[in-house]
């Protein structure tokens, strides 16, 4: 997809194009982002890199981080950097991330980088979003978990009956005694009734 804009990559204006807002990246002339979550460039690729063409082209990324975020590469001809697309978009339209906050995806989809899907929030809010969206890696969804919901309920029942001590229950399920203690105190698997 291409569209024409004034061919001055150093403009720090915003343009309303194709029913969304587009902004030039202030620190990366020749690159811009839009509110639909896309990166654009008016730079000539290859040997003529650094020259500007009169069309903006939407760039695609084939790269994602280990946690599923889209990674894009930026270059000014001298240095190349990799950035997370969602961070570029929210910082360009909203401003830098306030201290103590992080970027949250409202719908839990880390590849949906539309501005309307991004917000700044606390780590606690971001983790609550993960639970709400079902993307949290906790309990039996964790790759090294030895327990599941059924086993946790059995453990709680054994503790309630008082027939075995915590060490015996731990041996029975092949876990450390501290895990059983944390389950009893609802510091682990607290969401399981």
Q: Which two tokens stand for residue 129?
A: 């979003």
Q: What's the pLDDT band for 104 if we cut at 50, 70, 90?
A: very high
List the alpha helices (DSSP H) in the chain: 85-93, 123-133, 149-161, 166-173, 177-184
φ/ψ of residue 177, rounded to 5: -60, -35
Name the percent of the chain lying above pLDDT 90.
Answer: 41
Sequence-separated (6 or more) residues with CB below 8 Å from residue 179: 147, 170, 188
Q: What is the DSSP letter of 97?
A: P
Is residue 21 within 8 A of residue 76, CB to CB? The reply is: no
Per-residue model confidence (pLDDT) at position 10: 42
Coil, strand or helix at 104:
strand
Is the CB of residue 59 less than 8 Å from the CB of residue 75?
A: no
pLDDT per position as a tens digit, 34-85 = 999 999 988 876 655 567 777 888 888 778 887 788 999 888 777 888 999 9
- The mean-pLDDT minimum among 28-37, 74-83, 111-120, 162-171 falls in 74-83
Count the Cβ atoms, other than its own, within 10 Å of residue 143.
6
pTM over 0.85: no
Provide the edge-to-edge strand list for the sheet that holds 70-75.
63-64, 70-75, 80-84
Q: Running DSSP on this structure, what letter comes out for residue 173?
A: H
Residue 179: strand, helix, or coil: helix
For the chain, give the mean pLDDT: 82
Question: Which pLDDT score is estimated for 2?
Answer: 46
Tell me the sheet residues that pair with 80.
Answer: 75
Asked if 30 contacts 75 with a C-beta cutoff of 8 angstroms, the reply is no
The architecture that CATH gives domain 2-133 is Alpha-Beta Complex (3.90)
């Amino acid at each position: 997809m291409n569209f024409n804009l004034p061919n001055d990559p150093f403009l720090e204006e915003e343009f309303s194009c194709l029913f969304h807002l587009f902004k030039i990246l202030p620190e990366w002339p020749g690159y811009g982002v839009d509110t639909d979550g896309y990166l654009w460039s008016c730079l000539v690729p290859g040997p003529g890199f650094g020259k500007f063409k009169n069309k903006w082209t939407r760039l695609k990324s084939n790269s994602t981080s280990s946690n599923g975020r889209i990674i894009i590469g930026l270059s000014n001809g001298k240095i190349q950097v990799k950035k997370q697309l969602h961070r570029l978009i929210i910082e360009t339209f909203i401003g830098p991330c306030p201290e103590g906050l992080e970027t949250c995806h409202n719908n839990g989809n880390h590849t949906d980088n539309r501005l309307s899907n991004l917000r700044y929030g606390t780590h606690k809010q971001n983790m609550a979003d993960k639970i709400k969206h079902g993307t949290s890696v906790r309990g039996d969804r964790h790759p090294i978990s030895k327990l599941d919901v059924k086993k946790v309920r059995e453990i709680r029942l054994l503790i309630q009956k008082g027939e075995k001590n915590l060490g015996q229950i731990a041996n029975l399920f092949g876990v450390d005694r501290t895990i059983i203690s944390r389950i009893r105190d609802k510091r682990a698997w607290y969401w399981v009734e």
